[in-house]
């Protein structure tokens, strides 16, 4: 039995999956590799089978969390790395495995094509309600240097140094088997994507585990490869749904409603601007589901233990 495994979750990832798996074979040949495909309609599964011994081909998109849990259960390795298909490991991963064995969770450094760290993404602090409201209203984008955003995105941290972090990105995240089982894996109701990794790390912290950032373990990250294959209106809807679920699960009623109101406040002007810019009613149609969802969630708080069945 191998002591470490990598689980790569794919969805129409034919453009990147071979580079991802080739790099794993080069820099982490000791790893068992499991590919879990979420209903791809392209050549992803066939390409993955050329490189990985264990490929699980789902007939539908089960979502990132469910596929991650599925991949974890397909291996007996003591440490398991979740790796996005649009990443390419560029260093050996022995230090990542060692840190995970000690701390329970570890993460490496995600870089861009030039080798520079992806600041603000590779590691973050847990989002507070204030941060989520600023994100929704677009203020973090208009004023990225505001103190809440700087703290949230670890702008005050030297990413060349190892150390504890709150929320590493799920694109390059390793966890120990006992931690995974203690937490019940990723919450599959964050479907199909977003906030499942944040929720997992937050629950891990509450359970007494810690996440260790290992600067010397690196992977080049393109970002958003599978997400870009989704229709834009669906991407926006899924992000709002997962954000509201996370808020319902981890914050009280007052903050929950404040975040919901901020979500409505961000959707309406964006919809109007879209109608004017495109000179069509398409933005009205695409934002209807978002506003309908947010309206229902304002009236009736979203069940933090379940998926919104009307999405």
Among the listed residues 69, 189, 208, the one whose alpha carbon sits nearest the alpha carbon of residue 199: 189
For residues 168 and 258, membership in a common domain is answered with no
Domain count, the chain: 2
Say if residue 46 is in the same domain as residue 172: yes
Residues 109 and 246 in one domain: no
In CATH, what number is assigned to the domain containing residue 23? 3.90.550.10
> Do 29 and 177 fall within a single domain?
yes
Q: In the predicted model, is pLDDT for residue 131 greater than 90? A: yes
Question: Does one domain contain both 246 and 211?
Answer: no
* Alpha-carbon torsion (249, 251, 256, 260), positive or negative: negative
Residue 35's domain spans which residues? 4-122+159-221
> Does residue 254 lie within any of the structural domains?
yes
pLDDT for the residue numbered 130: 97
For 8, the 3-state DSSP assignment is strand
The mean pLDDT value for 141-150 works out to 93
pLDDT tens digits, 243-261: 999 999 999 999 999 999 9
Which percentage of the chain shows pLDDT scores above 90?
82
Look up the pTM and report it.
0.94
Question: Residue 130 falls within a domain, yes or no?
Answer: no
Residues 188 and 47 in one domain: yes
Weakest-pLDDT range from 54-63, 157-166, 205-214, 302-311: 302-311
Give 146-183 pLDDT, tens digit per residue: 999 999 999 999 999 999 999 999 999 999 999 999 99
Q: Is residue 110 part of a domain?
A: yes
Structure confidence at residue 137 (pLDDT): 94
> Are 248 and 278 in a shared domain?
yes
Q: Identify the pLDDT of residue 232.
A: 72
Query: Which tokens go with 157?
Result: 């941290």
Which pLDDT band holds residue 80 (cuts at 50, 70, 90)? very high
Are residues 252 and 284 located together in one domain of the fold? yes
- For residues 175 and 256, membership in a common domain is answered with no
């Amino acid at each position: 039995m191998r002591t470490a495994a990598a689980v790569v979750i794919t969805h129409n990832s034919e453009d990147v999956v071979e580079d991802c798996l080739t790099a794993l074979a080069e820099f982490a040949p000791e790893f068992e590799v499991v590919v879990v495909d979420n209903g791809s309609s392209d050549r992803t599964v066939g390409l993955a089978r050329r490189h990985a011994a264990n490929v699980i081909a789902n007939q539908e998109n089960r979502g990132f969390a469910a596929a991650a849990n599925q991949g974890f259960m397909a291996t007996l390795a003591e440490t398991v790395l979740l790796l996005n298909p649009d990443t390419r490991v560029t260093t050996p991963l022995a230090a990542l495995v060692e840190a995970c064995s000690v701390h329970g969770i570890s993460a490496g450094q995600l870089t861009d094509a030039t080798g520079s760290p992806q600041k603000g993404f590779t590691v973050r602090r847990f989002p507070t309600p204030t941060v989520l409201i600023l994100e929704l209203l677009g203020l973090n984008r208009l004023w990225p240097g505001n103190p809440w955003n700087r703290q949230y995105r670890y702008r005050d941290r030297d990413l060349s140094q190892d150390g504890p972090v709150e929320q590493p990105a799920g694109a390059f995240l390793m966890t120990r088997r006992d931690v995974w089982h203690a937490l019940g894996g990723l919450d599959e109701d964050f479907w199909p994507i977003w906030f499942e990794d944040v929720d997992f790390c937050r629950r891990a912290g509450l359970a007494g585990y810690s996440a260790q950032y290992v600067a010397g373990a690196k992977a080049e990250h393109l970002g958003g490869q599978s997400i870009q294959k989704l229709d834009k209106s669906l991407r926006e809807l899924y992000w709002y749904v997962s954000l509201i679920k996370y808020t319902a699960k981890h914050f009280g009623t007052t903050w929950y409603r404040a975040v919901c109101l901020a979500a409505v406040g961000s959707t309406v002007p964006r919809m109007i601007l879209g109608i004017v810019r495109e000179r069509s009613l398409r933005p009205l149609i695409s934002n209807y589901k978002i506003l309908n969802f947010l309206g229902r969630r304002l009236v009736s708080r979203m069940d933090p233990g379940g998926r919104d069945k009307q999405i």
